[in-house]
Amino acid sequence: MAEININEQIRELNSKVDKIIFVLIGDEDLAQQGLAKKVEAHDKWIQEKKVHDAKVIAISTGVSGLAIYILNFWITMKGNG
C-alpha cells in the first residue's frame, strides 16, 4: 500500500516539474514561449527603445540648436538693416 502511495507521489511530482519546465522554457509544439524567451524578447525591446530615445533626443537637440542659430542670425540681420 505504501508503495502505491510513493508511486502516486512521484507521478504528481513529475507532473509539477513538467509544468514548471513548460512555464520556464515553453513548448515549441504548442508555439508557447516560456519565461526565458519572454524575458529575452523584453530585454531586446528595452534596448531598442533606449536607442530610439537617444536618437529622438539627439535630433531634437540638433533641431533646437539650428533654430536658435537661425533666430539669432535673423535678429542680427534685422538689427543691422
pLDDT at site 79: 76
pLDDT at site 50: 97
Name 41's Cβ contacts closer than 8 Å, sequence gap at least 6: 33
- Residue 37: closest CA among 29, 25, 48, 50: 25
Task: Label residue 3 by pLDDT band (50, 70, 90).
Answer: low
pTM summary value: 0.59
pLDDT at 1 over 60: no
Name 36's Cβ contacts closer than 8 Å, sequence gap at least 6: 24, 25, 26
CA distance 34 to 54: 31
Q: Mind listing the pLDDT tens digit for each residue in 4-60?
A: 788 888 989 999 998 888 888 887 777 788 888 899 999 999 999 999 999 999 999
Cell numbers that stand for 58 in this block: 539627439
